[in-house]
Amino acid sequence: MATGANFVLGLDLGTTSVKVCVVDIQSRKVVAKQSKDTQAGEGAEQDVSKIISAVHNCIGRIPRDLLKNVTSIGVCGQMHGVLLWNRETAWNTSTTNDRFELGKGQITSLYTWQDSRCTLEFLSEIPKPDSHLRIASGYGCATLLWKLKHEPEELSLYSCAGTIQDFLVAMLCDLDSPVMSIQNAASWGYFSTQENTWNLDILKSVDFPIHLLPKVVDPGSVAGTLSKAWYGIPRGTEVLTALGDMQCSVLSTLVSETACTAVLNISTSAQLSFPMPADFTPPNTQSSIEYFPYFDDRYLAVAASLNGGNVMAAFIRMLQSWMQDLGFGVPQSLIWDKMLTLVKHANSAEQSMTIIPTLFGERHLSAVPAAEVFNINSGNISLGNVAKALFEGLITNLHNMMSTTLLEQYGVTQLVGTGSALSRNQPLQQQVAAQYKNIPFKTVQEGDASYGAALATLAPMSPN
C-alpha cells in the first residue's frame, strides 16, 4: 500500500489519551491510526514521562512501510497547560534506539488546563492582560505567575517552558528553545492576537520570567526537522509547530462539510465552535463566548465549557462508590451501560428535576465551582430520570453559553457532533437535537484532533 505513496503523520496529546494517525497526502484518507490512554494522572498535574511513553507506544504500532514514507509531522495537544524543563538535561540525544528518551534531569509535571490553584482572589490581584481573551486558572501564564509568588525557587531551576505538545516538538527536533503557535500562545493568556506578541511590558511589571516565554509563530510554520530516524520516519522530516487540539478537532470535522457548520465536541470538557468570517475582529468585551485563533488568520467563536464528559464520569464514580459502600463491586462500564438503558425509558411526564452541572465551574462565571439540583420529588429520583436531567443540564449549560439564535445569526445551518463522550451517548445526542432543534444535527466519527494535525500540514487548511 505504501509503494510510491507519501504520507503525513498527525499526533494529538490529549487530556486522557494520545492519538496518532497516518494520512495519505493524495486522498487525505486515514490509512492507519492508533491510540492509547496515557494514565498520566487526572486533574491538575500529569506525568510527562507517561505521556511520551504513550506516544512511542502508538508510533511503534504503526506499520513501518507507512512511516518510512512520512514527509511531515503535525502535532497538537491539550491547550492552556504548561511544563518546565532544561534543554541540556530534558532528553537524551545519544540513544541509538527508535525512541526519544527523556533525560535524567528534572522535568516538572504538566500543569494542565484543569489546574485550580489560581483562585478568584489570586486572579483579581494579577495584572489585567492586554488581550480580548481572559486569563483563568489552568492557563500557562497564570500558573507561572502563581509559581512566581508561591514557588519562585522552582522557576529559577528551568530555562524553557511550553505546552506538552510544544515539548514533544522541541524534543523531536532537538531544539535549544521551544517555539509555539499563535493558537497555543493565545491559550496561555497575556498574548495579543492582533499584535501577535506577548504582553511583555505588563509581565515585566510584575517580574515575570520573560525568558520562559517561547517564540511565537503562525500555525503551519515548520518548527524544525526530526533529529534522528524515528520508528522508520527518516531523519530530517519536517515537524510543524504544535497546534491546539480544539482547532485541529474542528478542522478535521469540517474538512468534509460543505454547509456552514458549527462543531460540538464533548470529551473530557465540551466546546461548541464555528469559524468566524475572514474579516472578523474580536471584541474586547468578555462573555461566555471567546474568539480563539484558528487558521489562515481567522478566528473560532468558542463556547468552551469546563463541564462535559468529566461531569458524567464523576457521576458514574459516585454511583460506583455508593455500590462499594453497600458491599457490591460493580465495574464502571456496567454502570454506564445500565444507566444509558434506563435513560431511554425514563418517564418524561415525571421529568421535573433540573440539574445545573457546573461541577467544575465555568471561566466566565465569577463563582466557586458547584453543581445544583432543583425540584427533587418522590416521582423523579430513579436513576434514569436523574441521568436524563444530568444530560439535559449539560446541553442547557452549553446552550446558555452559545444559543441557537447566535448560531443562526452567523448563518450556521448544520451542527456536527464529535468526541468520545458524545458519540457513544445517544440520549445526550437527543438532548442536543432537542435544544438546538432549529439546526440539523448529526454526529461523525472522524473528527479527531490527530487527523486535524495531519491535515494542518497540507494546504488549504481552513474549510467553511
Q: Packing angle between helix 332-344 and helix 309-325, nearest 10 degrees? A: 110
Judge whether 344 and 427 are in contact, CB under 8 Å: yes
Please list the residues that pair with 442 across neighbouring strands: 416
Per-residue pLDDT of the chain (464 residues; tens, 9 = 90+): 444 569 999 999 998 899 999 999 999 999 999 999 998 887 789 999 999 999 999 999 999 999 999 999 999 999 999 999 998 899 987 777 888 989 887 899 999 998 999 999 999 999 999 999 999 999 999 999 999 999 999 999 999 999 999 999 999 999 999 999 999 999 999 999 999 999 999 999 999 999 999 999 999 999 999 999 999 999 999 999 999 999 998 999 888 777 799 999 998 899 999 999 999 999 988 789 999 999 999 999 999 999 999 999 999 999 999 999 999 999 999 999 999 999 988 876 666 899 999 999 998 887 778 899 999 998 899 999 999 999 999 999 999 999 999 999 999 999 999 888 998 899 999 999 999 999 999 998 756 899 999 999 996 555 55
**In whole angstroms, how large is the CA radius of gyration of the chain?**
22
Q: Please enumerate in sequence order all residues whose Cβ is within 8 A of that of 193, keeping only pairs 6 or more positions apart, or say none.
A: 131, 132, 133, 182, 186, 282, 293, 299
Burial 413-432 (b: 16+ CB within 10 A, else e): ebbbbbbbbbbebebbbbbb
| Nearest one of 81, 76, 66 to 5, comparing CA atoms | 66
Query: Cα 194 to chain center, whole Å?
Result: 23
Give the span between the Cα atoms of 2 and 7, in whole angstroms.
9
Give the span between the Cα atoms of 144 and 155, in whole angstroms.
8
**Per-residue CA distances from 396 to 208, 356, 372, 412 (Å):** 39, 8, 13, 19
Q: Please enumerate in sequence order all residues whose Cβ is within 8 A of that of 292, keeping only pairs 6 or more positions apart, or say none.
A: 133, 183, 186, 187, 244, 246, 247, 299, 300, 302
Q: Counting every residue, how long is the chain?
A: 464
Burial 270-290 (b: 16+ CB within 10 A, else e): bbbbbbbeeeeebeeeeebbb
| Nearest one of 304, 443, 306, 314 to 387, comparing CA atoms | 314
What's the pLDDT at 1? 42
Could you tell me the domains of the chain? 7-244 (3.30.420.40), 257-445 (3.30.420.40)
Question: CA end-to-end span of the chain, whole Å?
Answer: 32
Helix (H, G, I), strand (E, B) or coil at 215: strand
Q: 361-367 long-range CB contacts below 8 Å, 24 or more apart? A: 361/306, 362/288, 362/305, 362/306, 362/307, 362/397, 362/401, 363/134, 363/136, 363/304, 363/306, 364/134, 364/286, 364/287, 364/288, 364/401, 366/120
Give the span between the Cα atoms of 260 and 257, in whole angstroms.
8
Rounded to two decimals, what is the model's pTM?
A: 0.87
Give the span between the Cα atoms of 368 and 305, in whole angstroms.
15
